[in-house]
């Protein structure tokens, strides 16, 4: 049977609005982000959703709350759905990174799949590997069902690239 995973990126946060790199950092949803979560909940309410999985980041759980209420399932957290860890880049804007870490920022912008930002960061390969593992596990637990997965822009793109066969080093705007 076919399992349907509905992947959702969390709603807009204050750091998204300010164009700061969040990674494993966190900031709350903006009013727009909350409205986005509520719109997703309304759209999903008409489907027979078997389960909700979410990253353990606060912004993902804030997004999950109205969806959980609409579909009648509490979200189960999975740390593997977290956003890429950006190490010392977290909380910074690209302008700040160009000013303070120009060489590292240039390396990051090359999108080399194995590049790791110093300070505990992760590569695109590592992110994709854990996201594929998480979604595969979720799909196997819910054979033939509809499941909502609330994650992050980077992790959703990494999984989509895997599903569509798009290499990690190809520039792709989504």
Burial of 106 (0-12, 13-18, 19+ CB in 10 A): exposed
Q: What DSSP character marks residue 112?
A: -
Active site residues: 10, 83
Nearest by Cα to 127 from 158, 99, 163, 98: 158
Q: Which of 8, 37, 153 is nearest to 86 (CA)?
A: 153
Instruction: Name the strand (E) or helix (H) holding 40.
Output: helix 31-44
């Amino acid at each position: 049977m076919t399992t349907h995973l509905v992947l959702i990126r969390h709603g807009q946060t204050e750091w998204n609005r300010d164009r700061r790199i969040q990674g494993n950092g966190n900031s709350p949803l903006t009013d727009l982000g909350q409205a986005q979560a509520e719109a997703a909940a309304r759209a999903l309410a008409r489907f027979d959703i078997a389960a909700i999985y979410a990253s353990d980041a606060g912004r993902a759980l804030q997004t999950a709350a109205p969806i959980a209420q609409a579909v009648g399932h509490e979200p189960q957290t999975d740390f593997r759905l977290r956003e890429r860890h950006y190490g010392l880049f977290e909380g910074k804007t690209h302008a700040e990174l160009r000013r303070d870490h120009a060489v590292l920022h240039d390396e990051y912008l090359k999108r080399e799949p194995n590049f790791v930002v110093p300070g505990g960061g992760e590569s695109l390969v590592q992110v994709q590997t854990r996201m594929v593992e998480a979604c595969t596990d979720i799909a196997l637990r819910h054979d033939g069902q509809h499941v909502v997965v609330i994650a992050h822009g980077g992790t959703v793109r990494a999984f989509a690239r895997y599903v569509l066969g798009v290499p990690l080093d190809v520039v792709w705007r989504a």
